[in-house]
Structure 1
Amino acid sequence: MNQYKSLVRNSFLFAVGSIGSKTISFFMLPLYTRLLSTNDYGQLDVLQTTISLLIPLVTFQAIEAVFRYSVDMREKVYASSVLINGLFLSLVGIVISFILFPLFTSFEPFSSYTSLFYSIMILSMIDGIMKQFVRGLEKIKTFVASDLGYTASFVFFNIVFLVYLKMGLSGYFLSMVLGHLVSIVIILVFGRIFKYLNFKAFDKSLLKTMLIYSIPLIPNGLMLWIMNVSDRYMLTYFLGFSATGIYSVSYKFPSLITLVNGIFFQAYQLSAIQEYGKKGYEDFYKNIFGVLSSLLFVVTGLILLILKPLMSVFVSEAFYEAWKYVPLLLVGTVFQAFSSFFGTNYTASKKTKGAFSTTIFGAVVNIGINIILIPLWGIQAAAFSTMAAYLAVWLMRIIDTKKFVGIRIDWKSISLSIVVIALQFVGLYFVENRYLFFVGETVLVVALLFIQRKYIKQVYNFGMNLLKELRASAN
């Protein structure tokens, strides 16, 4: 019971920060799609995508290593070594990124925003290292405070720079720079990071150990990047920045599922590391996956129910067609969450090679479908390739992680849920009568809730028992 309580407590804390920081790009859509053109949005997406690729590569996945080893080494002297080693790898990453400077100044959109591009990348490295360090030390409140600080400052500066000063993309990027600075200051002050900043704690032996752990994650991270965002580059190449901008907006709606999973995943990853190898871990693993899959399928069904009216409110007319690409991306995001869940066993066991071997297959699927189908099927091909790739990774990890933990999956529940969601697809694309559509989609959502009733009941019972314990302790 204690591991479930810890998971719930940490999930709640992560939710406080994530609901702000992870949903900001979604709830700011009405502003962005009215102040930025589809071409602007495409350039924005390419720049952010490139940063997400470069940071893990040039820092040798330092952020992942800092989190994993800060969990194990919480004594001050050892924790200092983890942090200093992580910052050292960030410095290496900064040097490598500047070597690439001539390359970036030769291509758009990088040549127009070079200084801001580098500022965001460097601050993201430092912010990421520090955030995962305090997370590993279980300073969850500091982690959450940094998220909230970034969110509040980002929104404030967006309004100032985009609405009042009309700075366009430059204003958006400058808001990111200032947001990361605020986040770093919060971590330094409230996480009391200064006491760990002992540069004499640099440890070559530990650095080698961290690199042995993190280097196999580099190709894995690259393959994940290919599945997540390489389709943006292909869409830009085949169809231009405007198509990329529309696709980027369609991706904002699956971000609601990413939010739900992200809140849970940050807490679960910590619990998985702490509980791995202990008695009862397999039951813990099975129960949590059942609840996660149930939650994500229900959220997917609800989003599909309100997708069209929601899209008409949240985006300008120029971006409205993005709704067509959301359904496949939603299911792809669910499979991504499933593959990430199974991937926690690689992190917990420190055997990260399997993460790469499973991910590379998904990347090959993604690239192959994109190259063949984007010229024929357009933006929808990119959405389909993402879904197919993550399905492939999840299925492979089911097989591969059996050597870490006995896996029992409720295939009946999952299969029936996928069938119901597929029927929702049919309604979205082919039922034009609004009344029939709403009635039909509502019936399907109710069916989804019925299929997942077992796990919904488990969550309800757990919540009621937890509430009784809290009341008893209060008395």
Structure 2
Amino acid sequence: MIKKILKNTVVYTIGDFLVVAISGILLLPYYTRIMSVDEYAEYGVVNSLIVLLTFVIQFGIVSTFSRFYFLQGSDERKKIYIGQLLLLQASLTIVVVIALLLMKSFLLMEIISSIDNEKLFYCAIIISICGFLNAMYSAYLRILERPKSFVLFQLISIILYVLFIIIFRFFEFDGLEAVVYALMVSTIIMWCVSWYGIPYSFSFVDIGKTVKETFIFATPVFIAYIMYYCLNKFNILLLQGIVDKRQLAMFTFALQLSTIVTVIAGSAGKAVQPALYKLDKIDVFNVSKKLAWYYKLVMSMLVFIFIFFSENIILFFAPPDFLESQSLLRILILSAFIYNIRSVEASLFFYFKKTRWSLYMTSFSALVVVGSSIIFVPIYGAEASAYAILLGSFAGFLCNRFFSRKLRVIGT
């Protein structure tokens, strides 16, 4: 059993990694060469906006879907459940879009002032909206343990993204525009694939129960996502009005490159959860312990390589100008490692329906980051922002250990 779970975990992790890593990390050598430093700084702000809107629009519904799908009984009831989640998310999306349009002027002038092209604001909204169904379909493939279909879905997504970047560059779009437009078009196409592939049936039978269950489970997850956003992406928005675009670009580059640790951790966590949900309380601790050992070994080796060979890694991903980001990269890599080293153990919070614990852990870490950033970043700039993230990661690690020990007492 442990071998099968480990095998599927690796496959799903690779699938998620392909999309996020290629679009966000492995294409960095291309990004940093087709964009000017100022454009790359603006790209960081656009990317942060997309992440924030994605968290808001998804509202933790995908995590709820993964947890409650197996409890729906018949296949027909499962289709109805998916349809009701789609209706709920559509309603939330309408509210969010109306709010964004009403606040557009304020957002462009105060919150995302580095974005010079208003079209990129609308692109970010479209990408976030379409990304929900894509995430649902990916979760559906994980739940049914279809690793080959999952990886194929992710591969098609990234191939389309790269293809459209090439197409837009061929028609002489600017580097930043080509990247954002390509992401939007490829996301829309994969939305169509997801709509065709995921089984659903619209029905209002027991929809009140579905909505109630979803909000109870998803609200802490949603808040945790927002708090997690504050752990790193928040600092990009904060730095806009404090440092110049060059420093913002250096911080954005270091943060984006350090996310390789976060991507692997997040992908492994999402891959592990459906497998753990099928186990009883006795087996789940033993299996998670073994999975955690393998996970920590791989993560430790990865971080060692990134810290001690950071200069070579930076030169591989960017021109020599970006060597200015080396100290920031080391701090942020260490931060990501400390915060995510216990991701497998954190998956048990969802198994035992202790989503609030995840919320408490992430919220405390986020408050540490935001508080220290607001105090020190205006004085010391980007480096203070990196140290604030490191401090918040250590706070999250301590919280994780505390709640994991408490969970073992409850579970046994």
Structure 1-normalised TM-score?
0.78
Residues 165-214 of structure 1 show CA distances to partners (whole Å, capped at 9, x for unaligned) of: 2333222111111221232344345x4x2x42444567221221121111
Determine the C-alpha separation between the residues in 2 that align with 1:180 and 1:146: 12
- Cα distance in 1 for partners of 2:135, 2:84 equals 14
- Please give the alpha-carbon distance, in whole angstroms, between the structure 1 residues aligned to 2:182 and 2:206: 33
Aligned match of 1:218: 222
Q: CA deviation at 1:235?
A: 1.2
- 1:68 alignment counterpart: 67
Name the residue aligned to 2:146: 139
* Paired position in structure 2 for 1:12: 10
| 1:84–1:241 Cα change, 3 Å | farther
The aligned residue for residue 265 of structure 1 is 269
Q: Does the 8 Å CA contact 1:105/1:114 hold for their aligned counterparts?
A: no
Q: Where does residue 311 of structure 1 map in the other structure?
A: 314
CA distance in 2, matches of 1:30, 1:163: 18
> Of the two, which has the highest radius of gyration?
1
Counterparts in 2 of 1:196-207, with a 5 A limit? Answer: 196-199=200-203, 203-207=207-211
Offset of 1:105 from its aligned partner?
Answer: 4.0
Aligned counterparts of 1:405 and 1:325: Cα–Cα separation in 2 = 37
Q: CA deviation at 1:404?
A: 2.1
Q: Distance in 1 between matches of 2:409 and 2:314?
A: 42
Correspondence for 2:180: 173
Structure 1 residue runs of 5 or longer lacking an equivalent are 408-475
Check 1:22–1:397 CA distance in 2 against 1; reply closer, same or farther (3 A cut).
same
Corresponding residue of 1:97: 96
Describe how 1:261-300 pairs up with structure 2 within 5 A. 261-277=265-281, 279-300=282-303
For residue 23 of structure 1, give the secondary structure of its aligned residue in structure 2: helix
Question: Residue 120 of structure 2 aligns with which residue?
Answer: 113
- Taking CA–CA contacts closer than 8 Å with sequence separation of 6 or more, which of the two structures ends up with the larger relative contact order? 2
SS of match in other structure, 2:247: helix
297 and 311 in structure 1: CA distance in 2 versus 1, 3 angstrom threshold: same
What is the correspondence of 1:11-410 to structure 2 with a 5 Å cutoff?
11-24=9-22, 25-73=24-72, 75-99=74-98, 100-106=100-106, 107=108, 108=113, 109=115, 111-162=118-169, 165-189=172-196, 191=197, 193=198, 195-199=199-203, 203-277=207-281, 279-405=282-408
* 1:148 Cα offset (Å): 0.9
Residue 415 of structure 1 aligns with which residue? Answer: none
Unaligned runs of 5+ in 2: none
The one-letter amino acid of 1:271's match is A
2:242 is paired with a residue whose SS is helix
State the alpha-carbon separation in 2 of the partners of residues 50 and 202 from structure 1. Answer: 35
After superposition, the Cα gap between the structure-2 partners of 1:164 and 1:306, relative to the gap in structure 1 and judged at 3 Å, is farther
**Alignment partners' CA distance in 2, 1:78 and 1:226:** 37
Aligned residue-pair number: 401
User: How far is the alpha carbon of 1:245 from its aligned partner?
Assistant: 2.1
- For residues 164 and 188 of structure 2, what CA distance do their matches in structure 1 show? 12
* Identical pairs, percent: 18
One-letter amino acid of the counterpart of residue 104, structure 2: F
Cα 1:17–1:218 shift into 2, 3 Å: closer
CA contact (8 A) 2:12 2:271 kept: yes
Letter of the 2:39 counterpart? D
CA shift, 1:265, in A, is 2.1
Give the direction of change, closer, same or farther, for the CA distance of 1:58–1:19 in structure 2 (3 Å limit).
closer
**Normalising by the residue count of structure 2, what TM-score does the alignment of the two structures yield?**
0.89
